[in-house]
Amino acid sequence: MKDSYKRVHGDSGQHRRILWMALVLGVLGFIPMIARLYDLMVTHYDYYAEKALRNQTRTTTVTADRGILYDRNMNILACSVGVENIYLDPNELKQSQTDIPKLSQDLAQLLSLDAAWVQTQATDTTMRYKQIAAKVDAQTAAQVRQYINQTNTKGIHLEPDTKRYYPYGTLASQVIGFTNASNEGSEGIEAAYNSYLTGTAGQVITTKGNNQMDMPYSYEAYEDATPGCSLVLTIDVTVQTALEKQMRLAIDRYDVQNGAFGMVMNVKTGEILAMATLGGYDPNAYLEIYDPQLAAQAEDLRQQYLSLEPDTDAYKQAKQTYDSFRSNAQLKQWRNRCISDGYEPGSTFKVMTMAAALDCGAITLDTSFHCAGAEQIPGRSQRLHCWRSAGHGAQTTANALQNSCNLAFAHIALKLGGERFYDYVERFGILEKTGLDLAGESKGVFFSKELVTDTDKWGTASLTSGSFGQTFKLTPIQLVRGIAAVVNGGYLIEPYIVAEAVDAQGNTVLRQETTVLRQVISQETSKIMCTLLESVVNEGTAKNAKVAGYAIGGKTGTSEKIDVLDASGQPTLDKIVSFVGVAPMDDPEYIILVALDTPSRSTGIYISGGVMAAPTVGAVMGDILPYLGVKRNEPLDHVTIPDLTGMTKPQMEKALKELGLTAQIQGTEEAVTSQIPAAGQTVPGNSQMWVYFGQTETQPQVEVPDFTGMTRQQAVDAAGLLGLYVLVTGNDTVAPHVVVTAQQEKPGTLLDTGSTVTLQFTDIKAAD
């Protein structure tokens, strides 16, 4: 019994131990599972809850409208318009047993796509939706909807979206910029103010099933999109149009090879009213190459690689060449040269040099200079030549600026000295960016301080050449800002192009105003410089910039592009001709720069800023000053026609003589019976009328001749024979070398007898 007891109880204890061990092991086995559950359900609850929600819901983004760009008069420069994205549902197409090949052909034709590619998207059932077209315009979208309705096709879906639209096309394109396929600003204002213009996207959240289908009558949440801020620019569409028009005419007239750049700025406030780089592009189709020649070259390169066997080394190399050429052409047309490209300013820089010398007392208006055409300047290894080989002889300070004499300015630089010259250059902002609110601004390249100031070690070449704007580079905006400081009382201002930003509720969230950085020269010096700059137009190299009735000042410039080499590695001696004009000189308000890059020698016209750029700026002035409300300081030379009816011939001749008019007589009766022009009309002074003595008055239309190349007298005579009158613009000097270079009414235009033609006269021997 004892053995039996032990056997029984001994076995029972062993079983208990086994059970306890099993229980312990079981508990230990559940610990990792419990820990994992704790990790999933507690520690990372938010993560997995969000992931589960994403698996059960579909989020559709609601695109926010991008802010509108306005000019200063609230003309729309850029806005967002409604477009649609087009999707296919391969599963729905399959379930409805759609004829996929026919569908693909039809959609390819409507959307200008490849039919084979569309068919591939339509049969890819691994995806719920396949986008086949983005940002389709309303007209095309309507055609797609009509197709869906007519064919009763299920599986084609359209989703609303927005696309940027630029109503003025190429106008101010480098300033405005464009948005890319993701609706983000890529250039110009669109890029610089992208954070203001971009709104906050909204979203629609709905539940979906295992097959990715939306579950109706289930759950939906909607969050409104917030539109971006709108911007009001300082740009004026009318001023911008006038600037681009006259630059384009100059490019055609002088066969300019490498485009042009220019701007209009308010010298008192720093507001940019216009800024242009030609050639440009259309931001509505920013990927297209706008220059016809470059576009043709790109197409030739494309055809070359397409003619090769794909995937070969020759094919890859040819395609790379095409891609590189196209990319460079696009970057070139997008580039805003007014802020990004440095160039030698040439004689336009003399304005700042003379202002500095007068301001510090290095020279006075009574300082005299002598130009013999060439001179060995102390500290220079080579003789310095003036643009006029015969020299200018004895000159006053005013004459030196009027004649744009390099020798005189070399001596002004020596009197100024390297330390003071460099100090004024720095104060005029030439060593820094202007702070203009556009991306991509550079600051040019100027000499090191030591090179200018330590003339004992480095000589005077940099100092003297720098004084007349050679062997260094600055940007157009730097030059314009510096000269603005010369004429506005001496204040260096920060230019700007965005006046304010306004949110969707109409609240102003950003307002920019005039920022004065420092005073560079005294107000007295500024007044003196205004008088001198006006004399350059009235008496000097810029007579071609005259505008009747307005006091215009400015400075011409011609610089060689020494960094441009020909095929043999030698400088091409290509030139940039420019003019900086200011008006009105009694109280300067606007400054205009126009630079023409590489006028062609084939035109036979003397290449200089005075011949080419000055009349271009003058034409811009003539277009915009009346529009901007600048009052004329004297009336135009126009005469109001009196009523001659009933007068005898002697009475008629006396009345017209007093007005400076002459008459072409028709008929033989004793008294005037009719006249052209009619009484009360105005004509330019020294015009000729048609006066009828009994003969029937006729007013036929006449064909406008080509006045190009005619002197003033020749033009007046040619117009008079046709019964037309001449309004003189530009250079009003009567001389054999002052001829018509442009006319407002194109040759061949039909005009009524008695009409006025506007002719631009230019001194074709003007220099600098």
pLDDT tens digits, residue range 536-547? 999 999 999 999
Amino acid at 738: V
Q: Which fold has domain 638-763?
A: Trypsin Inhibitor V; Chain A (3.30.10)
The answer as to CATH 3.90.1310.10 being correct for domain 60-231 is: yes
SS3 560: strand
Nearest to 301, CA basis, from 329, 343, 340: 329
Distances (CA, A) of 349 to 100, 259, 542, 580, 648: 69, 22, 15, 10, 61
Q: What integer pLDDT is reported at residue 5 of this predicted model?
A: 46
Cβ neighbours, 10 Å, residue 654: 11
Q: For position 44, what pLDDT does the model report?
A: 66
How far apart, in whole angstroms, are the C-alpha atoms of residue 311 and residue 632? Answer: 69
pLDDT higher at 687 or 653 = 653
- The 10s digit of each residue's pLDDT in 686-726 is 777 888 998 776 667 889 999 999 998 899 889 888 888 88
Asked whether residue 217 carries a pLDDT value surpassing 50, the answer given is no
User: In the predicted model, is pLDDT for residue 58 greater than 60?
Assistant: no
Q: What local confidence, expressed as pLDDT, does residue 389 receive?
A: 87
- Note the pLDDT of residue 365: 97
For the ranges 5-9, 16-20, 196-200, 303-307, which has the lowest average pLDDT? 5-9
Give the residue among 685, 548, 555 at the shortest CA–CA distance from 619: 548
Over range 662-691, report the average pLDDT: 84
- Higher-pLDDT residue of 233 and 211 is 233
Burial class (CB in 10 A: 0-12, 13-18, 19+), 616: buried
Work out the pLDDT band at 398, boundaries 50, 70, 90: very high
Q: Which helix (H) or strand (E) holds 394?
A: strand 393-396
Q: What pLDDT is attached to residue 29?
A: 66
The class (CATH top level) of 343-545 is: alpha beta
Report how many helices (DSSP H) and strands (DSSP E) the chain contains, helices first: 25, 31
